[in-house]
Amino acid sequence: MHYFRIIDEELYAEDIRVSELVEEFGSPLYIYSRRTVEEHWLKWEQALADLDHRVCFAVKANSNLAVINTLAGLGSGFDVVSAGELFRVKKAGGDSSLCTFAGVGKTAEEIEQAISDGIYSFNVESVAELELISSVATGKGVRAPVSVRVNPNVDAETHGKITTGTYENKFGIAFEEVAALYERASRMPGIWLRGVQIHIGSQITAVRPFEDAVRKMLPLVTELKARHGIEFFDIGGGVGIVYQSAMASGTSEWWLGEDKPLTPASYAGALVPLLRGLGLKIIVEPGRFIVGNAGILAAKVLYVKKTGKKRFVVVDAAMNDLIRPAFYDSYHEIMSVGKKAGQELLPTDVVGPICESGDFFCKNRPLPPFESGDCLALMSAGAYGFTMSSNYNSRPRAAEVMVSGKTVKLVRRRESFDDLIRGESFD
């Protein structure tokens, strides 16, 4: 479900035509639908309403201040992975006491900062990190709230680069070693054992891997509660979204409706009965589900060229703006922003201007006959889109706007050439 729709053959972001937005703000342009962000967050709230729970938005998926601020306004917590993300949460009006802090490589400075900010919990990933947190906290005369990230060694059945819960991955503490680690941690002077956490991967489209992981964890979590008085079980993020819409399969109706392979409701339907009896606060850390379908990347066609048999549509967005296709071979629906209905679809590669063969958005996809000057939209780009963008090839990063009904706000201005060289110097 989202609020990007075709009306009279034109693509709209909520109540504004995407072509108008591109005219006003230029391209490439990230466009977010505020209503979609809010509704997706609320779906989590509703799905978990029967439990003592907290929804902590995974900031890495989209860290724009306007997105964070929107969610903070709903009362969201946040899952951060760096002092930089924590800084953003505070700047955007988020509450640091609702933040979990994850990641395998927290520095002493980051730990110090997070303790000063009064975060809810560190999700700890190694013994060495536990010892460092204890010593930083002791130096400040406090105990730091901690949960250990358990690696449950289950297969999330997703892309290799975004699976995290097996012993092939760098994440967490091996399941079999956790109980002993809690014993050891309970004797560390600066540690307050507050919870336990798992996260098995991302873009997971079936409930079974989550269920397997939670079922495996239940006896351990019960034991940790009894022995150490932990108060929460954080079951991570990872619920996948629909990237390929109905339009691609030939129907004219591309509105996604409720036909997701996995929704917070179906996820909760399977997991809440397992979790209810624990008597713990349940934390979830969704990122992609909240913002993925709430954002698109609009781009303009620069050139159409044919080499050999292939038709290439060269657009002004590139892998530096949206790296997911290059990095994960991921699929993003490509829509025409303006009128192209009824025209014959042509097998097309949509590519960017960067000097790498990996700089593509699709290959041999049947698409309308785009011409120079046309505008197209890469759909479902709201998660891990702008946050993974870069200045590769010295390309200033795109502007970001947020639409709410008929109003639009520039929430990040387009970078300038001066932005590109900020902080650099020579003799």
- Is 355 noted as a catalytic residue in this protein? yes
Contact 299, 332 (CB under 8 A): no
Closest C-alpha among 100, 93, 49 to residue 77: 100
* Residue 27: half-sphere exposure toward Cβ, Cα within 13 Å: 25
Selected binder of ligand LLP within 113, 203, 293, 404 (CB under 6 A): 203
Q: What is the DSSP string of 14-67?
A: TTEEHHHHHHHH-SSEEEEEHHHHHHHHHHHHHHTTTSSEEEEEEGGG---HHH
Minimum Å distance from CB 199 to ligand LLP?
Answer: 4
String marking each residue 9-48 x if it binds ligand LLP according to CB under 6 A? ----------------------------------------
Q: d(Cα 80, Cα 142) in Å, to the nearest integer?
A: 21
Strand partners of residue 5: 12
Q: Is 209 in the site for ligand LLP (CB under 6 A)?
A: no
Q: Is 236 in the site for ligand LLP (CB under 6 A)?
A: yes
String marking each residue 282-311 x if it binds ligand LLP according to CB under 6 A? ---xxxxx----------------------
SS3 assignment, position 277: helix
Question: By CB under 6 A, which span of 38-46, 303-311, 380-388, 418-426 interacts with ligand LLP?
Answer: 380-388
Cβ closest to ligand LLP, residue 94 vs residue 286: 286
Selected binder of ligand LLP within 172, 209, 238, 264 (CB under 6 A): 238
Q: What is the DSSP string of 308-371?
A: TTEEEEEES--TTT--HHHHH-----EEESS--TTSPPEEEEEE-SSSSTT-EEEEEEEE----
- The footprint of ligand LLP on residues 98-117 (CB under 6 A) is 102
Q: d(Cα 210, Cα 199) in Å, to the nearest integer?
A: 9
Q: Is 384 in the site for ligand LLP (CB under 6 A)?
A: yes
How many residues in the shown chain lie near ligand LLP by CB under 6 A?
22
* Residue 246: half-sphere exposure toward Cβ, Cα within 13 Å: 12
Question: By CB under 6 A, which span of 211-219, 301-309, 342-350, 381-389 interacts with ligand LLP?
Answer: 381-389
Question: By CB under 6 A, which span of 311-319, 382-390, 403-411, 414-422 interacts with ligand LLP?
Answer: 382-390
Q: What is the 3-state secondary structure (H, E, C) of 79-114?
A: EECCHHHHHHHHHCCCCHHHEEECCCCCCHHHHHHH
- The footprint of ligand LLP on residues 117-156 (CB under 6 A) is none
Minimum Å distance from CB 284 to ligand LLP?
Answer: 9
Q: d(Cα 254, Cα 379) in Å, to the nearest integer?
A: 11
- Residues forming contacts to ligand LLP in the complex (CB under 6 A) are 58, 61, 79, 102, 162, 199, 202-203, 236-239, 285-289, 324, 328, 383-384, 388
Catalytic residue IDs: 355
